Amino acid sequence: MTYHKFMTGFWLAATIISAIIAIWMISAEGWQEGSMYLIFPVLAGMAYGARKFMVKRMEGLDQKP
C-alpha cells in the first residue's frame, strides 16, 4: 500500500502546486489568457479523487473475509 499512498500524496501535491501556479498566471496575465491554466489543477484533482476512491475501495475489499 505504500506505493498507492505515495501516488495519492503525489496527486494532491500536484493539485496544490498547479493551483498556485494557475492563480499566479491569472494574476500575471489576466483572466483571458490565464484562465486556461485552471485545467491543470482540475485534471490533477480528478486524478487525486479517483486514486483516493480506488485506494479506499481496495482497502475495503482487503478487509472482507
pLDDT digits (tens, 9 = 90+) for 19-33: 999 999 999 999 999
Percentage with pLDDT > 90 across the chain: 68
HSE of 45, CA atoms in CB hemisphere, 13 A: 9
How far is it, in rounded angstroms, from Cα 24 to Cα 20? 6
How far is it, in rounded angstroms, from Cα 53 to Cα 32? 34
pLDDT of residue 3: 85
Instruction: Specify the pTM.
Output: 0.81
Sign of torsion, CA 6 11 16 21? positive
For the chain, how many residues are written? 65
